Amino acid sequence: VERGLPFLSNDTWTETRVQPAARDIGTNQQIRSYIAVPLRTGGRVLGSLSVESDQPNAFTYEDVDLLEAVAAQIGGPIASTRLYQEAQRLAEQVKRRNEHLTVLNSVARIAVSTLDLERMLAAVTVQIKQGFGYGHVELYTVDDDGGALVLAAQAGTFRPNEIGYRIALTRGLLGKAYRAGHTVHADDVLTDPDYLAETPRETRSQLCVPIVANTRVLALLNLESRQVAAFTGEGVAVLETAADVLASAIENARLYQRAQEADMEKASEAPTP
């Protein structure tokens, strides 16, 4: 591979041109004669093709020529297969990116379509669950006075908590994300010291994305999967963008609710004619 040249040894036990593989390991103990030829395509070495024998002086230069002919036939197909696999990988990446953008656009449309906070949060969690395919998606709002995160919406196949379920701001990965003000995740919750199972589930990886407005955490997205290391950098980036969109929407919905409450209070205080 290093020199791009064939190599023949008819007695590896006395070989001095290269350092032989350790003779006391596995099938290496049986190798006495050895040929290796480079696999090439387009002037580039892709790897090597080798044959072995447990007998000394088993091969001739004719065997080397034959093996080189075989290598010449398979080098091109190997390169073509690699190119095809790379094209498939890129196509899958583009498809996944398009799916993520579709989810992001849907979240943005939901966020601007209603000022009903409860309805908006429920629709967003369903959209994220369907778009990303994670096992479970939750959205918690922050109760600063009560020192807790409050479950406002959820979608998924894991054992659910009741809407209104509360988690102390000091607990688990959700509490850590709230206190840090940035995304935290566990590739394997079974080995993460910050993970606390609030409800028995099949969770193996968890992602917590805070929804922040003016440096204040308003809510948190909680995503869980049965797979280890389920959350990719690209997917996390899209979810963080969705969190930015939701921050403005939640602020607007809360301002609207306060205005509605103020109007009702004024109406109740107005003198009766």
| pLDDT recorded at residue 272 | 61
Q: Is the pLDDT of residue 138 over 80?
A: yes
Burial 149-158 (b: 16+ CB within 10 A, else e): bbbbbbbbeb
User: Average of pLDDT values for 148-164?
Assistant: 90
Alpha-carbon span 49 to 26, nearest angstrom: 19
29-62 pLDDT per residue, tens: 788 899 999 988 877 888 899 999 999 999 999 9
Lowest mean pLDDT segment, chosen from 107-111, 173-177, 224-228: 107-111
User: Average of pLDDT values for 81-98?
Assistant: 77
Tokens 């290391």: give the residue.
229
| Average per-residue pLDDT for the chain | 86
CB atoms within 10 A of CB 169: 18
**Maximum CA pair distance of the chain?**
117
Q: What is the DSSP letter of 154?
A: E
Q: Is the pLDDT of residue 114 over 90?
A: no
Question: 271: pLDDT confidence band, cut at 50, 70 and 90?
Answer: low
| pLDDT recorded at residue 29 | 79
Share of the chain above pLDDT 70, in %: 95
Q: Is the pLDDT of residue 5 over 80?
A: yes
| pLDDT recorded at residue 118 | 87
Cβ atoms of 135 and 226 within 8 Å: the answer is yes
Share of the chain above pLDDT 90, in %: 38
More confidently predicted of 106 and 216: 216
Nearest C-alpha neighbor of 249 from the set 150, 158, 116: 116
| pLDDT recorded at residue 273 | 60
Cβ atoms of 179 and 100 within 8 Å: the answer is no
More confidently predicted of 180 and 42: 180
pTM of the shown model:
0.64
| pLDDT recorded at residue 248 | 86
User: Average of pLDDT values for 139-149?
Assistant: 92
More confidently predicted of 67 and 81: 67
